[in-house]
Chain A
Amino acid sequence: MTALHTPSDVERGRIAYRRRRAVRSVLLAAASTAVLGTLLVVAVTGSPGWDRVRTSFFNAEIAKESFPAVLEGLWLNIRMLVVCAVLALALGLFIAVLRTLRGPVFFPVRAMATLYTYAFRGIPLIIVIYLFAFGIPGLRLQGTPGVLVLGGAALVVTYGAYLAEVFRAGIESVHPSQLAAARSLGLTYRQTMRHVVLPQAVRRVAPPLLNDTVALQKDVGLVSLAGPIDAVRAAQIATAENFNYTPYLVAAVLFVLLALPLIAVTDWVTLRAARRQNAGT
């Protein structure tokens, strides 16, 4: 049916007009980008200190030299990111569910979960890393894991607190009528959570969860404070060797490249969620 329809002259005119507008928009966008880009380049390269900055931050030779070490460090970041993200998400979900438990018996559990989210959202991550990586070994307990594991634990505990609040917001955003419907079918509280509330909640907060994962991605670099040689630490070593900041820039570029796929996934999930929400209208 659609194929048979030939547009009238009016519609053809409108299509042509819209096409002209689209072409004009693209040209305008290109022109304004070119102007702004040129201005930026002129402003930076024309600055009095540009020559010095260029040699100490944009040295191609040093970049090439430090690249393998920084890349090797990045591999540690990637492994830590995967492990920490999974553990932090699990911890966050667990804490969030604890905070929704009703009944007087669960008061201490609720209180502790609440206290945890308050405390670890407040303490700066750097301090948590110091406490874990230097404080815990100081206890001289048998079987204390290495600084890498302790630094990772600091990340998990801190991000778990943030993610718990995101999950909780999602759980609370599920309308009470859903709970009523599930309970009316005879589902227990636990079954209601598992099959009705959490699936809706997690779907709804997927974009902010992924956003926090992107943030975790770069905070993983902070474990270098405790000693392990990750990309940031590798860049720091290379910087000290050459008295040149280019390795940091190399690390920054690699971090951005690492974040790109995650950011792309976040955007895609957000878009899909928005589409699904608007599907009914």
Chain B
Amino acid sequence: MLLSVDRVRKVFGPAVVLDDLSLAVDEHQVVALIGASGSGKSTLLRCVNLLERVDDGTITLDGEDITDPRVDPDVVRRRIGMVFQSYNLFPHMTVLGNITLAPTRVHKRAAAEAREKAMEWLTRVGLADKADSYPDRLSGGQQQRVAIVRALVNNPRLMLLDEVTSALDPELVGEVLTMIRDLKSEGMTMVLATHEMGFARQVADRVVFLDGGRVLEAGPPAQVLGDPVEPRTRQFLSRIIEAGRL
């Protein structure tokens, strides 16, 4: 087991956002988190990346308790890649600058080596000609692909993807999803929060439905999305179908 979330609790003031939530992710597994806004998907990802401190419970990565306050969060984050809904590229750096920042400053790679690796990736995802562009010259889909590359060049053990297609035009969603599908075929372990049910069905090994900070239902995509047991899951899915997103 690569990642294990055990009875994690997170509160913001009076609101209980994660309520004794447990989740296990095996190596090479892709887990899709689904659920309404406010169900705790993003908070869970942020807790795993130690961007939020858990209020109870433990999170274990590669057998190490990363919620132990003695653990240096910077060291933990080096093993985890994260991609955000609104890309969060650094606007004052070129595409290449964005991608080589962590390899050179955090992982102390030589600049030339980092650049070479970055160009390799950019070529793979068809953005080599954008290496010297600034993020605001790129489309949303291109920016998000750069953001994914930025996380990948650090060879993370685990990728966290937080609604990475939610800010994109429908026609740009495809290019990002293709990239994630490629990652899966290479065996990358991923936890992704998503509203793209069709995509979750295709790419996920397991779909987890969160409701009110708890795992209400989890299982193979065909079961959770096709034949849910819980009435709340059915209700959520029928609303999504109405909105034309399944």
Contacts and interface: CB of A to CB of B under 8 A. Distances in A.
Interface of A: 1-2, 5, 7-8, 10-11, 14, 17-18, 21
Contact of B56 (A11, A17, A21): A11
Given A10-B58, A11-B55, A5 B9 contact: yes
B70 A17 contact: yes
B16 interface: yes
B7 A8 contact: yes
Interface string B10-53: 01001010000000000000000000000000000000000000
A2 B56 CA distance: 12
A21 B9 contact: no
A2 B57 contact: no
A17 B68 CA distance: 9
Given A1-B16, A2-B14, A21 B57 contact: no
26 contacts: A1-B14, A1-B16, A2-B11, A2-B14, A2-B16, A5-B9, A5-B16, A5-B56, A7-B56, A8-B7, A8-B56, A8-B57, A10-B56, A10-B57, A10-B58, A10-B67, A11-B55, A11-B56, A11-B57, A14-B67, A14-B68, A14-B69, A17-B69, A17-B70, A18-B69, A21-B69
Contacts of A2: 11, 14, 16
A279 to B, nearest CB: 12
Contacts, number: 26
Closest 4 CB pairs of A and B: A11-B56, A17-B69, A14-B69, A1-B16
Nearest to B13: A2
A165 to B, nearest CB: 23
Contacts of A5: 9, 16, 56
Residue from A1, A11, A18 having most chain B Cβ neighbours under 10 A:
A11
Nearest to A11: B56
Nearest to A12: B56
A16 to B, nearest CB: 10
Nearest to B55: A11
Nearest to B58: A10
Interface in B67-88: 67-70
Contacts of A7: 56
A58 to B, nearest CB: 47
Contacts of A17: 69-70
Nearest to B7: A8
A18 B71 CA distance: 12
A2 B55 CA distance: 11
A2 B58 CA distance: 18
A7 B9 CA distance: 10
Nearest to B6: A10
A21 B69 CA distance: 10
A215 to B, nearest CB: 29
Contacts of A1: 14, 16
A21 B68 CA distance: 13
A1 B58 CA distance: 20
A17 B65 CA distance: 15
Nearest to B14: A2
A271 to B, nearest CB: 19
B43 to A, nearest CB: 13
A194 to B, nearest CB: 30
A8 B9 CA distance: 10
Nearest to A18: B69
Contacts of B55: 11
Contacts of A10: 56-58, 67
A128 B55 CA distance: 60
Residue from A7, A8, A17, A21 having most chain B Cβ neighbours under 10 A:
A8
Contacts of B7: 8
Residue from B14, B56, B67, B68 having most chain A Cβ neighbours under 10 A:
B56
Contacts of B67: 10, 14
